Amino acid sequence: MEKARISKLMAERGMCSRREADAYIERGWVRVDGVVVSELGSKAYPNQKITLDKQAQRRQGSRVTILLNKPVGYVSAQAERGYRPAVSLISARTLHNPSRSPFPFDPSHLRGLAPAGRLDIDSQGLLVLTQDGRIARQLIDENSDIEKEYLVRVEGRMAGNGLKLLNHGLSLDGQVLKPAHVEWQNDDQLRFVLQEGKKRQIRRMCELVGLKVVGLKRVRMGRIVLGDLPPGKWRYLREGERFI
């Protein structure tokens, strides 16, 4: 059995992100089998017990995750080509049902807030923004198997075996896609459930079977659904809510 970097082991166990792990190690907030570790790059065996100090646990507990119904025309991350980033929609004024919010909006909740998963400028629906590296890893790690559900309006004529190929059999960027669940909702709308998120994946999949996407809305990520959250509005992930 070989040793691995403690930060890597912590990330793999869902304790935090690697960057957060390094910060905790530097502060002396990490113990391996009860012994404080404070040197970056330290290693441990995969079967050793790793624990976080109460200070690190409090810091994690204060980090927020935000669920936004992103409208078309906003980019998920950094502003580009004159378009505004989705985070610019987060304010006290746009908080949905403030009376039901677990706590009031505070500008500190914008610090370090980053999108966990893509939703391109022409798409709308559920976008997760978080300060919590554990949640970000759950949603965007390459080994994540959390389902993402989309409603997709299309036009054009699908190839005869198109629906079968959408479910399994297509490749993008030289890689075979994971099996998906794709079905017709009505004459011009498909429902996609994916367990991966390549750039513009659904649009490119549809093009391969003769369809053009004219509307795309993400309605679920794992166990979290968009529900009745209006476009341009947001809410906090509540205590007890989990993606998995």
Helices (H) and strands (E) in the chain, counts: 6, 16
Number of residues that make up the chain:
244
Rounded Cα–Cα distance for residues 8 and 13 (Å): 9
Active site residue 53: no
CA distance 116 to 128: 6
Residue 97: both structure tokens together:
């049902």
Secondary structure class of 226 (helix, strand, coil): coil
Q: Are strands 175-176 and 181-186 parallel, antiparallel or unpaired?
A: unpaired
Q: Which of 53, 120, 141, 188 is catalytic?
A: 120
Q: Which residues of 99-136 are buried (b: 16+ CB within 10 A; e: fewer)?
A: eeeeeebeeebbeebebbbbbbeebbbbbbbbbbbbbb
- Positions marked catalytic: 120
